[in-house]
């Protein structure tokens, strides 16, 4: 029978009415295939589908319909890789179950007070949604008992394994009964997942919405061929020629993420960095701003981006290509969701070209090589947009309509073309200066270029190792004191963002950052430090910031409890 509505799936009225109020009308392919199987069969299920295809409802709806609300024992444990995804699943399931009386569903994850979660569990619940680490902790404390589990859900199983949760999953599954039904959902099917299905699942059904490891058909895959040194310029030009870019920019390392975010902020983009040096509260704040559209460009590492669930992203940008092509599938799956079109753009240089063929084999399609916009194209695009904006302005205020005749007369000496030229010169002077005599940065790699890129990469790696060993800054650096530290939640990204926002137009290089318990130091390659101190004013996280050139007395207080960041960061390069 063809499934066209949720009513065709045999759902009860409590769930159907909740789905209607949530605006759900037609099941997605994974929902239409998985829900009837879980409702009518005890066989284990493997669901292969990309992120954003409705997997939560695919496993959540049949479990919600079959749990016994009159029993306070835990009947289902649902595991997922990150706190963010855990919270999203819990929110969705609570909305679907809002009409089911006496049903209790809780979420358990790290970064939140464990004793609050223990109290909730002791009150009794039927469903627990959790991250592997916190679930193991609760089991070891004797609080979370899984002996009555009927449904075990592994959501984004490939992500959990890639994050190193294999031992935790083995431990959790060993505490569940043999008779449970296992529902495993994954975007890709690496060999580790195959081994897991053989070990923990019995004769499973496989529901495959798209062929395993293939990319979403709504996603267009593109790449720029550029030198490593031109990546940032290529990114800038790409963003500058788009009406709206709302995307995640993936970087390989935490330091690279902070570096890129700092440069984008300095250049006036609404960007932030998301990486492992941030506390959970800071992550939550950044993600809230990103979801609300206050941030356009979220620079992130793979680990930091896991669990991010935003359907409206129109781009995913690989500033650094991943080592594993399956990670590329996950990254690209962040766009082209909920029926929307999306583009996954990669910035590729010589040492990364070998990765392209592996990615193309994985997604079973070619990546289209695109041309980086020229400087003239950027200027033309910006000018066209400004002209359209001005032409569309409707002057309604009567006072604005009455222009002083003397003001009009002051323009009589110029032709219309000259007035427009002056206006354009004023509005676009900085843009013209940036792109004046700019070169074409599209690059066709030869073997010699590849060797050069490899040498540059090895040189960068050596330089990074030298910095991590604690190489001192050059003598041109000035050390500054700031009245915030670890107890204020201060981290390098916040210092970098604060400096960039207050020193725009000034060429500075940031050296070592030393964060103490109640204060911090940072270094700037600065020939006019007194002027910089006057510029570095404002707030960080609502606290008034005070900076000054570091004094010997302050250096003498440079005692234990510090976190040193000695990598030299060249963020403010024009």
Pairing between strand 76-79 and 127-130? parallel
> In terms of pTM, does the model score above 0.75?
no
For residue 474, the model assigns a pLDDT of 43
Of the candidates 228, 153, 162, the residue with the CA atom closest to the CA atom of residue 190: 162
For residue 446, the model assigns a pLDDT of 44
Q: Is 109 in contact with 137 (CB distance < 8 Å)? A: no
Q: Encoding tokens for residue 173? A: 């599954």
For residue 135, the model assigns a pLDDT of 96
Whether residue 473 is predicted with pLDDT greater than 50 in this model: the reply is no
Determine the 3-state secondary structure of 133 from DSSP.
helix
Of the candidates 243, 140, 255, 248, the residue with the CA atom closest to the CA atom of residue 565: 255
Whether residue 469 is predicted with pLDDT greater than 50 in this model: the reply is no
Q: Encoding tokens for residue 313? A: 């992203």
Tell whether domain 6-208 is in CATH 3.40.50.300: yes
Higher-scoring residue by pLDDT: 486, 398: 486
Domain definitions of the chain by residue range: 6-208, 219-373, 376-435, 472-572
For residue 133, the model assigns a pLDDT of 92
Q: Encoding tokens for residue 244? A: 């709206």
For 415, 479, 495, 569, the CA distances from 554, given in Å and listed in that order, are 62, 11, 18, 23
Average pLDDT over all residues of the chain: 81
Higher-scoring residue by pLDDT: 302, 563: 302
Higher-scoring residue by pLDDT: 441, 313: 313
Pairing between strand 205-208 and 45-48? parallel
Q: Percentage of residues in the chain with pLDDT exceeding 90?
A: 34
- Segment 110-139 shows an average pLDDT of 93
Whether residue 401 is predicted with pLDDT greater than 80 in this model: the reply is no
CATH class of 472-572: alpha beta
Residue tagged 């009225």 (tokens): 13
Whether residue 199 is predicted with pLDDT greater than 70 in this model: the reply is yes
pLDDT band at 463, cuts 50/70/90?
Answer: very low
CA distance 289 to 297: 11
Candidate ranges 10-24, 272-286, 302-316, 387-401; pick with highest mean pLDDT: 10-24
- CATH placement of domain 219-373: 3.40.50.300
For residue 449, the model assigns a pLDDT of 47
H helical segments located in 367-446: 375-391, 398-401, 405-409, 416-435
Same fold, 6-208 and 219-373: yes
For residue 107, the model assigns a pLDDT of 95
CA distance 165 to 65: 29
For residue 2, the model assigns a pLDDT of 60
CA distance 8 to 418: 69
Higher-scoring residue by pLDDT: 356, 558: 356
What does the pLDDT look like over 136-158, one tens digit per residue? 999 999 999 999 999 999 998 88
- Segment 220-247 shows an average pLDDT of 91
What does the pLDDT look like over 294-306, one tens digit per residue? 999 999 988 777 7
Residue tagged 């940031």 (tokens): 510
Of the candidates 328, 337, 43, 326, the residue with the CA atom closest to the CA atom of residue 161: 326
């Amino acid at each position: 029978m063809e499934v066209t509505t949720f009513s065709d799936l045999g759902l009860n009225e409590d769930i159907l009415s909740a789905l209607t109020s949530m605006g759900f009308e037609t099941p997605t392919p994974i929902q239409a295939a998985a829900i009837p199987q879980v409702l009518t069969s005890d066989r284990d299920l493997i669901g292969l589908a990309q992120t954003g295809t409705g997997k939560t409802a695919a496993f959540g709806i049949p479990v919600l319909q079959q749990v016994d609300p009159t029993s306070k024992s835990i009947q289902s444990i649902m595991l997922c890789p990150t706190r963010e995804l855990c919270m999203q699943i819990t929110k969705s399931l609570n909305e679907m179950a809002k009409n089911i009386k006496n049903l209790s569903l809780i979420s358990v994850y790290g970064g939140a007070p464990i004793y609050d979660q223990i109290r909730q569990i002791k009150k009794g619940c039927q469903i627990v949604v959790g991250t592997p680490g916190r679930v193991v902790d609760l089991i070891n404390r004797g609080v979370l008992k899984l002996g009555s589990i009927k449904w075990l859900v592994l959501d984004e199983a490939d992500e959990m394994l890639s994050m190193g949760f294999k031992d935790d999953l083995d431990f959790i599954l060993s505490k569940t009964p043999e008779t449970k039904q296992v529902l495993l959902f994954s975007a890709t099917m690496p060999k580790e997942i195959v081994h897991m299905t053989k070990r923990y699942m019995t004769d499973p059904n496989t529901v495959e919405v798209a062929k395993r490891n293939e990319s979403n058909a709504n996603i267009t895959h593109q790449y720029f061929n550029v030198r490593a040194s031109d990546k940032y310029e290529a990114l800038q030009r790409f963003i500058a020629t788009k009406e709206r870019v709302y995307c995640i920019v993936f970087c390989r390392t935490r330091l690279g993420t902070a570096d890129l975010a700092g440069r984008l902020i300095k250049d006036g983009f609404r960007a932030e960095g998301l990486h492992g040096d941030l506390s959970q509260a800071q992550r939550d704040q950044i993600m809230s701003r990103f979801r609300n559209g206050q941030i356009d460009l979220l620079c992130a590492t793979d680990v930091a981006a896991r669990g991010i669930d935003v359907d409206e992203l129109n781009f995913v940008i690989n500033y650094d290509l991943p080592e594993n092509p399956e990670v590329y599938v996950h990254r690209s799956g962040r766009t082209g969701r909920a029926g929307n079109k999306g583009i996954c753009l990669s910035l590729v240089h010589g040492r990364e070209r070998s990765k392209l063929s592996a990615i193309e084999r994985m997604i079973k399609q070619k990546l289209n090589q695109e041309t980086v916009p020229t400087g003239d194209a950027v200027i033309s695009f910006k000018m066209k947009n400004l002209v359209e904006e001005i032409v569309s302005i409707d002057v309604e205020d009567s006072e604005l309509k009455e222009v002083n005749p003397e003001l009009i007369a002051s323009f009589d000496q110029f032709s219309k073309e000259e007035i427009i030229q002056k206006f354009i010169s004023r509005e676009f002077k900085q843009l013209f200066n940036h792109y004046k005599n700019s070169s074409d940065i599209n690059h066709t790699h030869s073997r010699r270029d590849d060797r050069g890129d490899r040498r540059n990469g090895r040189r960068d790696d050596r330089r990074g190792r030298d910095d991590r060993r604690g190489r001192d800054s050059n003598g041109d650096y000035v050390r500054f004191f700031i009245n915030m530290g670890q107890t204020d939640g201060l981290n390098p990204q916040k210092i970098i963002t604060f400096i960039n926002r207050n020193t725009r137009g000034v060429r500075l290089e940031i050296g070592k950052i030393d964060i103490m318990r109640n204060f911090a130091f940072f270094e700037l390659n600065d020939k006019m430090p007194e002027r910089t101190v006057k510029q570095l004013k404002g707030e960080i996280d609502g606290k008034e910031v005070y900076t000054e050139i570091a004094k010997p007395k302050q250096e003498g207080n440079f005692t234990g409890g510090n976190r040193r960041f000695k990598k030299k960061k060249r963020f403010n390069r024009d």
